[in-house]
Amino acid sequence: MIETYGWTEAMARDFAPRALEGQIPGRIAVQHRDSYLVVTDEGEVRGKISGRLQHEAEAAGYPAVGDWVALAWDEAEAGGAAASTAPATATIHAVLPRRTAFVRRGAIDSSHGSQVIAANIEVAFIVTSLNADLNARRIERYLAAAWQSGARPVVVLTKADLSEDPAGEAAEIAALAPDCLVLAVSARQGLGLDALLAQVGPGETGVLIGSSGVGKSTLVNALLGEERMATRRLREGGDQGRHTTSHRQLILLPGGGLVLDTPGFREVGLVDADEGVSAVFDDIEQLMQTCRFNDCRHEGEPGCAVDAALKSGALEGARWENFQKLAVELAATQAKAELIAKNNERRRVAAVRKGYRGGKRGR
């Protein structure tokens, strides 16, 4: 069964030592507030993380949908899945190494740190609709995060039936990412669904990333050919749907691929996305290297290639501003990460010293 979800012989060989300890592999299919639904060869299991993993997760992050994990049956069900219709219960002891991870960060001043939205994905579908939600600057941000995740980004422009010129708008978005496939689709008309489905091969996983109301759940229903995911109609007086997906869920698709639907969010904060930003703004970074002075700040200095491109129209002002904004955000994020690391090390050293002094007093 887990082979259907992407489990391979190589993964089984790496897992062999854990199998000898009585643990079984599984993949997280649904993430709830205090538990997970995990797919195993014994069926679906309701998993809760162990105390040790809970402690480790506070610093390293919690398991996410798409993660492969190592579980052990709870004592009452040590023989395998229970015969009842309710899922068996097991304890998650470890998260197996991730191949890829789409990571989101909140506001720069947020105390919640980063959050893994989806793990072990091959394709990141950046979903936006061909209506008022279409925002090139937001797509650039999503693209940077997608490239950084290790997955292959694909831009999906939904509700093509609402656009007067879907091909033209798709071409404009494609110009932002020359190495990224852009698909215009319409769930209502069935337009582009086969091309979208072809992007996820058997055992591969795609994740749908985008704002609320862009049609992610509707798209999943169209791909499945059934109304499995809850959806709502467009808002009255507007052209945006309401947010309906409340949790992350891994879904099997016709053809053997998988897709992960996610709740919508307006923006995705970048985490260590230097490579992702470079992939999206490679043209700007190359342009900056042609300035007359190596220390050019691109603020009107003589021989500034960026200034010349902005004046000639070769570089769009809004694109340059977005690049600068993301660069500042990355710098702030990295500075905060360094500060957190220093504070953690200071607390660790203080705890060691306290333990040492306590040991001396007890002698």
CATH code, domain with 216: 3.40.50.300
Give the number of other CB atoms < 10 A from CB of residue 186.
21
Is there a single domain that holds both residue 33 and residue 117?
A: no
Mean pLDDT, consecutive 10-residue stretches, the chain (363 aa), reads: 93 94 95 89 93 81 92 70 66 94 60 74 91 78 85 92 87 82 90 92 91 82 73 46 60 91 60 60 80 85 87 84 74 54 60 59 59
Structural domains in the chain (count):
3
Give the list of residues 6+ apart from residue 231 with CB closer than 8 angstroms, or none. 217, 218, 221, 241, 244
Q: Are residues 68 and 117 both part of a single domain?
A: no
Q: What is the CATH number of the domain that holds 323?
A: 1.10.40.50
161 in Cβ contact with 191 (< 8 Å): yes
Do residue 131 and residue 225 come from a single domain? yes
Do 86 and 175 fall within a single domain?
A: no
Looking at the structure, tell me whether residues 251 and 150 fall in a common domain. yes
- pLDDT given for residue 239 in this prediction: 44
- How far apart (Å, rounded) are the C-alpha atoms in residues 65 and 72? 19
Tokens of 48: 């809760």
81 and 132 together in one domain: no
Q: Is residue 305 part of a domain?
A: yes
> Is residue 336 included in any domain, yes or no?
yes
Residue 207 lies in a domain: yes
Count the alpha carbons within 13 Å of 178 in the hemisphere toward its beta carbon: 3
Residue where a domain stops, chosen among 95, 118, 146: 95
125 Cβ neighbours under 8 A, 6+ residues apart: 153, 154, 155, 156, 196, 199, 206, 207, 208, 209, 259
CATH code assigned at 19: 2.40.50.140
Residue at which a domain ends, from 261, 282, 305 = 261
Residues 64 and 124 in one domain: no
Asked whether residue 74 falls in the same domain as residue 116, the answer is no
Tally of CB atoms within 10 A around 16: 8
Amino acid found at 355? G
Q: Please check whether residues 85 and 154 belong to one and the same domain.
A: no
Q: Tell me what pLDDT residue 6 has.
A: 94
In a domain, 202, yes or no: yes
Regarding whether 112 and 251 lie in a shared domain, the answer is yes
> Which pLDDT value is given to residue 359?
60
Pairing mode, strands 205-209 and 258-261: parallel
User: What global pTM score does this model have?
Assistant: 0.72
Q: What is the DSSP letter of 259?
A: E
Domain that holds residue 151: 101-261
pLDDT of res. 64: 92
Residue 115 shares a structural domain with residue 153: yes
DSSP-derived secondary structure letter, 70: E
d(CA 273, CA 330): 7
Answer yes or no: is 317 within a domain: yes
Measure the CA angle with vertex 261, ends 257 and 263; round to 5°: 170
Do 117 and 243 fall into the same domain? Answer: yes
Instruction: Tell me, yes or no, whether 106 lies in a domain.
Output: yes
Q: φ, ψ for residue 273 (rounded to 5)?
A: -105, 35
pLDDT attached to residue 243: 42
Asked whether 276 and 326 are in contact (CB, 8 A), the reply is no
Domain-embedded: residue 353: no
CB–CB of 122/206 below 8 Å?
A: yes
Q: Is residue 169 part of a domain?
A: yes
Q: Please identify, among 95, 127, 161, the residue that sits at the C-terminal boundary of a domain.
A: 95
Strand partners, 104: 115
